[in-house]
Amino acid sequence: MQDDVRDERGEPNPEDGGSDTRAAMRETHRAKKQRRRRRWLAAVGVVAALLVVGMVATYLKLNGNIDRLDVSKMVGKDRPTPSGDVAKGPLNILLIGSDVREGEGNETYGSGDWEPGQHSDTNILMHISGDRKSVTMVSIPRDSMVPAPVDCNGDAPKDQWRIHQWNQNFNTGGPGCVIRTLEGNTDIFVNHFAVVDFSGFKGMVDALGGVPACTPFDIDDPKAKFTLSAGRHVLDGEQALGYVRTRKSVGDGSDIQRIKRQQAFLASVAQQATDTKLLLRPDKLLRFLGAATSSLQMDPEFGLGPMKDIAESVKGIGVDKIQFVTVPTETYVPDRNRVQWAPEADELWESIRSDRELGAPKPTPSPTSTQPLTVTPDQIRVQVVNSSGVVGLAKQAVGALRVQGFGEVTSSNGDGVVKGATVEYSGDRAEAARTVAAAFPGATVKESERDLGREIRVTLGTGSPDVVEVPNRLGTEPLPTPTLKSTPSSSASIQARKASDDICS
């Protein structure tokens, strides 16, 4: 048998030929390839390990930056029912801007006419819809006069609350007191909260590379230490802080006007974050998160993990589905320099409680009873009282009842505005009241404290339903199409600004 002929490196010589030589060469090639693969995999493993360690370290650092605050003892035990969680259902997150003058990056703003302690000059309730298709940012004016607990360290019942200025709640008991006051006045459950100070705000703006802003006039506000000429500008963190803090030297000097500027700026932030593809730039994202977390105070359950889950759930929402609204207000009579929430605010809070888009029609409730009606409309005398604040609503209901055979129907105006529809009766007229209530789905039926005789009294308040057909109606003439709604046309005063709107609009 011919011996293998090897070259000077001890490997088979390809010039020698022969099947054994070629087989040996293939084996050697495979061995080299395996060695290179092992070295490559080892290198990849090291890199992967370093990346994982880096990611874990970054996560721990960012998560460790956040100041945790347990407010469970301040929010009371009589809280509203939770509206959802991270995985499903609507979410309500309270965002608070603190005007603290202490700490790194905050001490340069001086005291001026600032009172000791922290105040929450910016309060925004962020509502994320249950279907994760829209976000509503509700700004609460700092000068609002609302009932609030005097001491947020206890469970003082609401009948012991006293009216004071909204931004005093933060000074009284921090975010826990703000949450308790908000929940007590709106019946909206707050899932999480986040507090950011001046320094954190500036850092986030700088991490985005600046944020565009637009002003139709020159601004010179010594108290905010800020000047800006009219037109479009890209503001860095320091300038942006001055812009959103400016108040008394611009327009009418009101907090409402400042809120409009803040909303326009936040819309620009949303546009900037989208345009710069923040989530696709690890360097910018880490700078942004680092700036945010280093100046954040949150509840213990609201860490980077839940924040990531929320971000994932809303990543499909475009800026056109993010809207900013302000709680409707009116003058607070005892102090005309302050405001109080207007009746229209009830519509705003109701839309958030029911996770309904602002301005969308309310679902028509269904009758609650399936028992057959025993009294026909022609045997019933009805009085419809208008307590909705909508002129002509009672007469509209009268027309829809008469078409169905209710022969004796009259209308009148109530003394004030109430909510919903109520059907009252006296004596043995409960069955007649059931027939009338069938025309007003969802109405409350109760025995009256007054003697109504043979008459059934219907009181229509805000949110009361349109008249529907009763099962034992008489005649076949269709019901007239309603032209009035039980909710006053106040929603026009709840003006929404979309994040996609031009910043100069």
What sign does the dihedral 287-288-290-294 (CA atoms) show?
positive
DSSP element (H, E) containing 262: helix 255-275
What sign does the dihedral 15-20-22-25 (CA atoms) show?
negative
Backbone angles phi, psi at 210, to 5 degrees: 95, 160
Helix (H/G/I), strand (E/B), else coil: 446: strand
Question: Two tokens at 495?
Answer: 């003006």
Question: Two tokens at 104?
Answer: 């790194």
First to last CA, the chain: 94
Question: Two tokens at 426?
Answer: 């006296």
Residue from 490, 443, 492 nearest 466 by CA: 443
Find the farthest-apart pair of alpha carbons in the chain and give their distance in angstroms, rounded. Answer: 127
Could you tell me if 213 and 240 are in contact, meaning their C-beta atoms sit under 8 angstroms apart?
yes
Q: What is the pLDDT of residue 115?
A: 44
| Distant-in-sequence contacts of 471-479, Cβ < 8 A, 24+ apart | 471/372, 471/373, 471/438, 472/373, 472/376, 472/377, 472/435, 473/377, 473/404, 473/405, 474/376, 474/377, 474/378, 474/404, 474/405, 475/403, 475/404, 475/405, 477/403, 478/403, 479/400, 479/403, 479/404
Residue type at 262?
A: Q
Could you tell me if 413 and 338 are in contact, meaning their C-beta atoms sit under 8 angstroms apart?
no
How many Cα atoms within 13 Å fall on the side-chain side of residue 500?
Answer: 8
Q: What is the pLDDT of residue 410?
A: 95
User: How high is the mean pLDDT in each 10-residue block of the chain (505 residues)?
Assistant: 46 53 65 61 54 54 76 86 71 83 44 50 89 90 91 76 90 89 93 87 86 90 86 92 84 80 88 69 70 78 77 80 90 89 88 82 53 93 91 94 94 83 95 95 91 95 90 94 69 71 83
Q: Are strands 162-165 and 322-326 parallel, antiparallel or unpaired?
A: unpaired
Question: Two tokens at 52?
Answer: 């994982």
* pTM for the predicted model, two decimal places: 0.65
Q: What is the pLDDT of residue 41?
A: 52
C-alpha 188/C-alpha 186 separation (Å) is 5
